[in-house]
Amino acid sequence: MNTAAEFPILVDPVGGRPLTSVPRGLSAGNHTYPVIDGIPRLVPTSGGYAAAFGEQWNRWQRTQLDSYVGLPITRDRLTRCLGAELLGELANPNKTLDVCEAGCGAGRFTEVLLQMPAVRLTSVDLSSAVEASQRNCPQDGRYRIIQCDICKPPFEADAFDAVICLGAIQHTPNPESTIASLFSLVRPGGWLVIDHYAPSFAYWTKVTALLLRPVLKRLSPAARMQVCELLTSLFLPLHRAVRTVPLAQMALSRLSPLLTYYHAHPELAERHQREWALLDTHDSLTDWYKHLRTPSQILETLVRLGAEAIVVEPGGNGVEARCRKTK
């Protein structure tokens, strides 16, 4: 546990020297990084392979927040991934635990983490999603946001009691080195919580999505959004019509490029069904990297890193895993 009254220090991702405040920025030696709208920017503010995510989260900023849909969908997923022991630690009002949330997007997990009394949270993302996240959850004494690359994180080794990365690792260039980078940030005795896409029949038989993605991810941001709007207008009424007929639903999901939630979350109101379908169709057709890993591959990676108390389970978006760093 970090008992200091401050967040873990920021270091220069190039060279590792501590960053100190200068007018409108942070600096170490001859490297200076801007702080814009209160957010340190250790990578370019836009562009790069995660640009489509930035556009997406700024457009559908609140869509997947529990506070917006009025359902505990994100809380339930996070609770399952954390497991009872870590959840108990984060719920202890007499502790302060430094948590890093890697690849925070618009902050669907952030808002739930901030409700846990022990959490002092550092959320990071490579894209302009940090701006959406800040609008959803403004920074304060126990919550800060940083725009940076989790593969070159601006933190010292062993800086966090827990590192949580949900929905992001499959979108980085090399999942194994990303997991190693995240694990390096965990203090001895601390936790790493991750998930990953897994290969599946549903994925490999979603033919139109497989064909469309290489084209869509290369279009301009406006064109990508327009195509996803059009696809949603065309296909969502069909998904809605067959939502209670499992065989028809399964067949349509092979033909249609849409991701829909009539099956996984029938409790979502119709207007939320549309927003979630549009957002996740955009997400799944415009991500630059989409890696797949089996549970045994994730297990192998964690074993190779020397992790202990490893739990790897199929579930959620594919594989969910947590482990501890040896004390």
Ligand X SMILES: C[S@@+](CC[C@H](N)C(=O)[O-])C[C@H]1O[C@@H](n2cnc3c(N)ncnc32)[C@H](O)[C@@H]1O
> Minimal CA–CA distance to 255: which of 242, 273, 267, 268?
242
The smaller minimum CB distance to ligand X, of residues 108 and 187, is found at 108
Q: Compute the distance between CA of residue 211 and CA of residue 203 in angstroms, rounded to an integer.
A: 12
Q: Compute the distance between CA of residue 82 and CA of residue 164 in angstroms, rounded to an integer.
A: 8
Give 49: exposed, middle or buried? Use CB within 10 Å, 0-12, 13-18, 19+: middle
The smaller minimum CB distance to ligand X, of residues 53 and 143, is found at 53
Span interacting with ligand X, options 49-57, 186-194, 207-215, 242-250, rule CB under 6 A? 49-57
The smaller minimum CB distance to ligand X, of residues 48 and 249, is found at 48
Q: Does residue 167 bind ligand X (CB under 6 A)?
A: yes
Sign of the torsion angle spanned by Cα atoms 217, 219, 220, 226: negative
DSSP string of 45-105, one letter each residue: SS-STTHHHHHHHHHSSSTT-HHHHTS-HHHHHHHHHHHHHHHHHHT-TT--EEEEEES-T
Candidate list 11, 150, 159, 212; residue touching ligand X; CB under 6 A = 150
Letters for 114-143 (x = contact with ligand X by CB under 6 A, - = none) are: ----------xxxx-x--------------
| Window 235 to 254, contacts with ligand X (CB under 6 A) | none
Chain residue at closest Cβ approach to ligand X? 105
173 close to 49: Cβ distance less than 8 angstroms: yes
Candidate list 61, 172, 256, 286; residue touching ligand X; CB under 6 A = 172
Least Å distance, CB 103 to ligand X, is: 3
Span interacting with ligand X, options 34-42, 162-170, 238-246, 263-271, rule CB under 6 A? 162-170
Q: Compute the distance between CA of residue 203 and CA of residue 265 in angstroms, rounded to an integer.
A: 19
Letters for 80-109 (x = contact with ligand X by CB under 6 A, - = none) are: -----------------------xxx--xx
Letters for 58-77 (x = contact with ligand X by CB under 6 A, - = none) are: ------x-------------
Least Å distance, CB 185 to ligand X, is: 12
Q: Does residue 149 bind ligand X (CB under 6 A)?
A: yes
42 close to 155: Cβ distance less than 8 angstroms: no
Q: Does residue 151 bind ligand X (CB under 6 A)?
A: yes
Q: Does residue 12 bind ligand X (CB under 6 A)?
A: no
Amino acid at 242: V
Span interacting with ligand X, options 160-168, 202-210, 227-235, 292-300, rule CB under 6 A? 160-168
Q: How many residues bind ligand X (CB under 6 A)?
A: 23
Candidate list 12, 66, 283, 320; residue touching ligand X; CB under 6 A = 283
Least Å distance, CB 167 to ligand X, is: 3
Residue 239: CB atoms within 10 A of its CB come to 22
126 close to 289: Cβ distance less than 8 angstroms: no
Q: Does residue 180 bind ligand X (CB under 6 A)?
A: no
Query: At residue 194, what are phi and psi to the nearest 5 degrees?
Result: -140, 165
Where are the alpha helices (H) located in the chain, listed in sequence order? 51-59, 66-69, 73-90, 108-113, 129-136, 175-184, 201-204, 207-216, 221-241, 246-255, 270-286, 295-304
Q: What are the residues binding ligand X (CB under 6 A)?
A: 50, 53, 57, 64, 103-105, 108-109, 124-127, 129, 149-151, 166-168, 171-172, 283
